[in-house]
Amino acid sequence: MIKTECILAFVAIVEEGSISEAARRLRLSKSVVSDRLSELEKTLGGVLLHRTTRKLSLTEDGTSFLERARRISREIEEATADMSERRGTLAGPVRIAAPVTFGRMHLGPALYPFLAQHPELELTLDIDDRRVDAFSAGYDAIIRHGPIMDSRLVAWKLAPSRRMLCASSAYLESHGTPKTLRDLESHRGLFYTNRGIADWRFQTEAGVEIVRATLALGMNNGDMLRDAAIAGLGIAMLPPFIAAPAIRDGLLQEIKIDHTPEPEFIYLAYPQGKKPSAKVTAIVNHLRQAFGSPPYWEVD
């Protein structure tokens, strides 16, 4: 008979990419997780994963079994969540991925009191600016800022947002203040590379227009992008939740031109076809209240 803990170990190994990371996620020793995988393969009578010193990869049998294993894993999680809901408590594991800067500045401070109110909740919060795949990585939900590009996700808005052009006074005094989209093309741009180099998108009468300024610096972290703008290296397009404190302190100036950037929002998304648990729903409701509408980080 196949043991459920062996199935859960297999799913965790695939989603985390290694036995070590799966062990950390399951809060077990590496040897226990490895033994559970071996026991599952022995019970099924086939090899599920190719093991090398560098990586693990699914075999044909493993690929075939994975979809069923994930379904079993989800049903176990949902059954556990239903029992918790019947008791009127929020309990058990929930995995959420979120971007670094927003997580540090706003998400963490909003979640800490919520977790204190629900001590039986086991939240794993992965802070990473890369665009993770909620399906393959096994997250219950992801939190992101910007447009939703993956049609397989169902999104709940947490707060309205936007992006705005920002630069230091020293940069504007040296290079001039742009007034139009065409003016921007001759300026030095600081770009958030996880969105793509040419990511300055504006609303116009003819639709969305992309402006390609001269690349002065590209990076995948919002804090450092803000700091580069403060240092006078160029113009950055930043959300208020990053730029507002620097604007209030006079370290950055908001630049308003003849068109506005595309509207965006902070959202929580979960895989389509997967029923959101009471835990995820409660987190959404709490974060909406904590952030406010308009959100507290907006520039006055």
Averaged confidence pLDDT in the chain = 87
106 or 204, which is more confident?
Answer: 106
Which range among 61-65, 82-86, 232-236, 249-253 shows the weakest confidence by mean pLDDT?
82-86
Dist CA 68 CA 44 (whole Å): 13
Burial of 175 (0-12, 13-18, 19+ CB in 10 A): middle
Is the model's pLDDT at 89 over the cut of 80? no
When pLDDT is averaged across residues 260-277 and rounded to a whole number, the result is: 83
In this structure, what token pair is assigned to residue 78? 């949902």
Whole-prediction pTM: 0.72
Angle subtended by helix axes 222-230 and 240-248, to nearest 10? 30
CATH of 90-161+265-291, one of 3.40.630.30, 3.40.50.2300, 3.40.50.720, 3.40.190.10: 3.40.190.10
Q: How many helices (H) and strands (E) does the chain have?
A: 11, 14
Beta bridge partners of 56: 51
Q: 290: which residues sit within 8 A by CB, 6+ positions away?
A: 110
Backbone angles phi, psi at 186, to 5 degrees: -95, 0
CATH class of segment(s) 164-262: alpha beta
**Residue predicted with more confidence, 146 or 248:** 248
Q: What is the pLDDT of residue 143?
A: 93
Q: What is the mean pLDDT of residues 83-89?
A: 66
134-156 pLDDT, tens digit per residue, is: 656 678 899 998 766 666 778 89
- Does the structure show a pLDDT above 80 at 222? yes
Q: Where in the chain is the domain with CATH 3.40.190.10?
A: 90-161+265-291, 164-262
Do 232 and 205 form a contact (C-beta atoms < 8 A)?
no
- pLDDT tens, residue by residue, 6-24: 988 898 888 888 888 888 8
Give the integer Cα–Cα distance in Å for 216 and 26. 43
> Could you report the per-residue pLDDT of 38-59, keeping only the tens digit for each?
998 888 888 999 887 677 889 9
CATH topology of domain 4-85: Arc Repressor Mutant, subunit A (1.10.10)
- Summarize pLDDT for 90-123 with one digit per residue, the tens: 888 888 999 999 999 999 999 999 999 999 888 9
Residue 297: what pLDDT? Answer: 93
**DSSP string of 153-217?**
EEEEEEEEE--EEEE-HHHHHHH----SHHHHTTSEEEEEGGG-SS-EEEEETTEEEEE--EEEE
Residue range(s) in the chain whose domain bears CATH number 1.10.10.10: 4-85
pLDDT at position 81 is 65
Of 221, 229, 227, nearest in space to 194 by CA: 221
| Residue with the larger pLDDT of the pair 83 and 4 | 4
